[in-house]
Amino acid sequence: MRQKRTMKHKKLFRIIIPLLLGGIAVFAWFTLTTFRTKPLFINDFASVQPDVQYCNSKNPSLALNLYYPKGDTKTPLPLVVYIHGGGWLRGDESNHLLDVYGTKFVQKGIAVAAIDYRLDVKDSFPDQNNDIACALTYLTTNATRLSIDTRKVIFFGDSAGGQLAAFAALNIPFNNYDYEAPVGVIDFYGVSDFSTIINGPHPDLNARRYLGSKYNTVADQASPLTYVTKHAPRFIFFHGTKDSVVPISQSKIFYDQLIAVGIDSEFIPIDGARHAFIGPELPAAQYKKIQDNLDAFLRETINR
């Protein structure tokens, strides 16, 4: 009799356990698909002034987008100026990196300006740098009308944009442009020293195109590292340890040079990340590491 009961119990378990496992799988699928973090779009969180032309007399096609915290476009606000990457040849001032971090900026009461600049292969150094400098001059000159607090400006760039942002932050007298110095720079996997990447067995051909036919002659002139002084703003660097496009050493040597002249900066290596990472696609701990360090940087530089 006991043996029959045992057999029934075994049969029952054979039925119940698959049902339970199936139920758990369905619940997990429902949870992941229902409560998954939705993509962020800065336009959903900001009041937008699109296609604001700058330097009209030089190139009427150049423009920038301005994003303000909703309901606050009159109070002078801190500003983050975003300069996109793309190998100096491609890219757009509206992209996912801007959506992710620009959204966080406007939620903290920070205005954002995203700059367009020339990408044509015929335009080489210093054309893109001139465009950035001209846009920054426009923002400074029109700061009152645009509700910008010029004492609280941060430059933000990724890859080629990181190089352009750093160059603009460190070389303000460039070609006689006149704009306010930033108090900080956020650099995602940018180039700092061209001399180390344009030659050798695997030269960076995009960097060569950007520098032009005399790339060896102007490499130092275009490198942000050349302009590091004790008057530099604070920097924070984010760079993947597996970046095969822009070696992580580019950020490390830049950081070391800033520290050497007394500039309080941060170097945040992201384990396992490759080039052009954004953050949400990384393991949760890595993304949190980026956000926590970025939040601390904003608090310490512009009190946000």
Instruction: Spell out the per-residue pLDDT of the chain, length 304, in tens.
Output: 545 555 555 554 455 554 444 444 433 333 333 333 568 899 999 999 999 999 865 666 799 999 999 986 678 999 999 999 999 999 988 899 999 999 999 999 999 999 999 998 788 999 999 999 999 999 999 999 999 999 999 999 999 999 999 999 999 999 899 999 999 999 999 999 999 999 999 999 999 999 999 999 999 999 999 999 999 999 999 999 999 999 999 999 999 999 999 999 999 999 999 999 999 999 999 999 999 999 999 999 999 9
Tell me: do 18 and 87 sit in the same domain: no
What residue numbers bound the domain in which 10 lies? 1-36
- Residue partners of 259: CB distance under 8 A and separation at least 6: 265
Tell me: do 53 and 190 sit in the same domain: yes
Tell me: do 193 and 50 sit in the same domain: yes
- In the chain, the number of structural domains is 2
Q: Round to whole Å and give the CA distance between 185 and 16.
A: 59
Q: Round to whole Å and give the CA distance between 22 and 43.
A: 40
Tell me: do 71 and 206 sit in the same domain: yes
Contact between 106 and 82 (Cβ < 8 Å): no
The CA angle 233-207-171, to the nearest 5 degrees, is 25
Q: How far apart are the first and last CA of the chain?
A: 75
Tell me: do 5 and 102 sit in the same domain: no
Tell me: do 30 and 113 sit in the same domain: no
Tell me: do 144 and 210 sit in the same domain: yes
Tell me: do 58 and 30 sit in the same domain: no
**Predicted pLDDT at 11:** 52
**Predicted pLDDT at 37:** 54
CATH of the domain at 139: 3.40.50.1820
Tell me: do 76 and 10 sit in the same domain: no
**Predicted pLDDT at 93:** 87
Distances (CA, A) of 120 to 22, 65, 241, 264: 55, 20, 31, 36
**Predicted pLDDT at 72:** 62
**Predicted pLDDT at 53:** 93
Tell me: do 56 and 17 sit in the same domain: no
Predicted TM-score (pTM) of the model is 0.87
Tell me: do 186 and 257 sit in the same domain: yes
Tell me: do 277 and 296 sit in the same domain: yes
Buried (b) or exposed (e) across 141-151, using 16+ Cβ within 10 A? eebeebbbbbe
Contact between 261 and 269 (Cβ < 8 Å): no
**Predicted pLDDT at 136:** 97
